[in-house]
Amino acid sequence: MTKIINTALGYILATNFAIAADTHPNVHPHVAVVKQVIKSFDNPEGAIFSADGAHVFISNSAEIGDKGAGFSWTEGEGYISKMKVNNDGTLTMVNDKLITGISSPLGMAVLPVATGKFPAGTIFLCAGSAPIVDKDGKTITDRARMRTKLIAFNDDGKVLGEIDTGSNSVFEKITGNPIILINAMGFDAQGNLFVADTAFGGAQFEPKWDGAGGLWRIGHETIDELADGKLPTNMPEFLGIPGHPDGVEVSPTDGSVYVNTVGPVAGAPDPANGGIYAITDMTNLPAPMDGNLGALDGLDFTHNGTMLNTQIRGDIPAKIYVTCDGVTSDLMLSPHTELSGPADLAIRQMDDGSYLVVVPELMARDATPGDDEVTVLALPQTFDNCM
């Protein structure tokens, strides 16, 4: 059977698509209050708080919309927005286009430990991913234009440097594939960087790339060498993960690297059927700690180690999952608000112990940029109490 699925990865042609909708029935005991729904973006995919918590940055991925036949990002049309965090937990736009001319800007992370080149607090951005088209909606097939990268910038929007992860990069030399869909990343406390390659989109190029979905580790000591275009003394490490890994974050409590999978959104094989992995080293992939969750996109932690994942598979409700003390449950929103492709959410603990959660909503297949949504949630001080 073949059908069209309307999801956060677009109108995807899926063949023999059949995945059980056996998601968790539990409900988290604490409700999220919807503080704002801000309609000022173009397919917002990622959110990140500045190191001091004063600002939020949003990556506008600029999906081609109905100008193209399928879901693709538009080359050079993406941008970064900057918002101020007000005392009441609401957000106010500072600069809707702080950085422009980016291809498919997606997940972000904040550097916790300075390198020689980048000060602590530098924001790193995933950019340049497939599937990608030109401004007229024409598929890009030239391998040389597949320029995935990590872009480093400061709070003022000044670009401080880049790390090439695309065609002919160090990363392609290691696995035979560049990073094709550089989707999300997270730093550990020592400043080592972990990057997820979702690996969709390689078939659009001539010749095609098969893609190598998995997790990359870039050592803190390696970041400057890569940004300077040098062959690093210590090469990046790769761990293959089935099911198209999407979200990645390091737990603030146990130090493990958590990765989720989004494969079911496109009918792609995923043994975990939308799962979560807790990774402690780059040589062995453990069994998933959870699964049958749909198609997972964003992943982040509260200060006390409660994990949130976003679900974007189109044939079940979009939602946010909460994993606390090993139990996964649904987060209820008050008032009830339907999310549209919730993607790389960001969490920040406020001075009073409550949390602010910023949820970009990626799914909007139209050709009218500037009217897509970011939803702002407030979680109570007791949120990490699971009972």
DSSP letter at 88?
Answer: T
Report whether 256 contacts 278 (CB < 8 A). Answer: yes
Instruction: With beta carbons less than 8 A apart as the criterion, state whether 342 and 303 touch.
Output: no
Backbone angles phi, psi at 67, to 5 degrees: -80, -15
Residue 226 to residue 196: CA distance in whole angstroms = 17
Domain for residue 107, yes or no?
Answer: yes
In this prediction, residue 155 has a pLDDT band, given cuts at 50, 70 and 90, of very high
Contact present, 164 and 172 (Cβ < 8 Å): no
Q: In which band, very low, low, confident or very high, does the pLDDT at 365 lie, cut at 50, 70 and 90? A: confident
Q: What is the largest CA-CA distance in the chain?
A: 55
Count CA atoms closer than 13 A to 337's CA, side-chain side: 24
pLDDT at 63 over 80: yes
State whether residue 32 is helix, strand or coil.
Answer: strand
Q: Is the dihedral angle over the CA atoms 162, 210, 60, 21 positive or is it negative? A: negative
Q: What is the DSSP letter of 226?
A: H
The distance in angstroms from the start CA to the end CA of the chain is 43
What number is the average pLDDT over the span 147-168? 98
CB 163 within 8 A of CB 170: no
The larger pLDDT score, comparing residue 250 to residue 212, is at 250
pLDDT at position 24 is 60
The answer to the question of residue 321 being in a domain is no
Residue 276: is its pLDDT beyond 80? yes
**189 burial level (CB within 10 Å; 0-12, 13-18, 19+):** exposed
Q: What is the number of structural domains in the chain?
A: 1
Residue 380 buriedness (CB in 10 A; 0-12 / 13-18 / 19+): middle
Percent of the chain with pLDDT over 70: 93
Say which range, 198-212, 298-312, 352-366, has the weakest mean pLDDT. Answer: 352-366
Q: What pLDDT, on the 0 to 100 scale, is given for residue 207? A: 96
Q: Averaged over 335-342, what is the pLDDT?
A: 94
H-type helices in the chain, by residue range? 170-175, 223-227
Q: The pTM is what?
A: 0.93
Average pLDDT (200-206) is 96
Identify which has the larger pLDDT, 23 or 311.
311
Q: What is the mean pLDDT of residues 133-153?
A: 95
| Dist CA 360 CA 83 (whole Å) | 13
In a domain, 311, yes or no: no
Say if residues 349 and 363 touch (Cβ distance below 8 Å). no
| CATH number of the domain to which 262 belongs | 2.120.10
Q: What's the average model confidence in pLDDT over 279-298?
A: 97
Are 342 and 348 in contact, with CB atoms under 8 Å apart? no
Q: Is residue 190 part of a domain?
A: yes
| Residue 31 covered by a domain | no
Which residue type, as a one-letter code, is found at position 154? N
Residue 365 inside a domain? The answer is no
Task: Evaluate whether residue 68 is within a structural domain.
Answer: yes
Report if residue 217 sits inside a domain.
yes
* Average pLDDT score over the chain: 92
Distance CA 222, CA 237 (A): 11
Domain containing 134 equals: 45-306
Which of 65-79, 129-143, 155-169, 199-213 has the least mean pLDDT? 65-79
Instruction: Kindly report the number of other CB atoms within 10 A of residue 30's CB atom.
Output: 19
Q: Which two tokens stand for residue 39?
A: 């309609």
Q: What is the per-residue pLDDT for 9?
A: 38
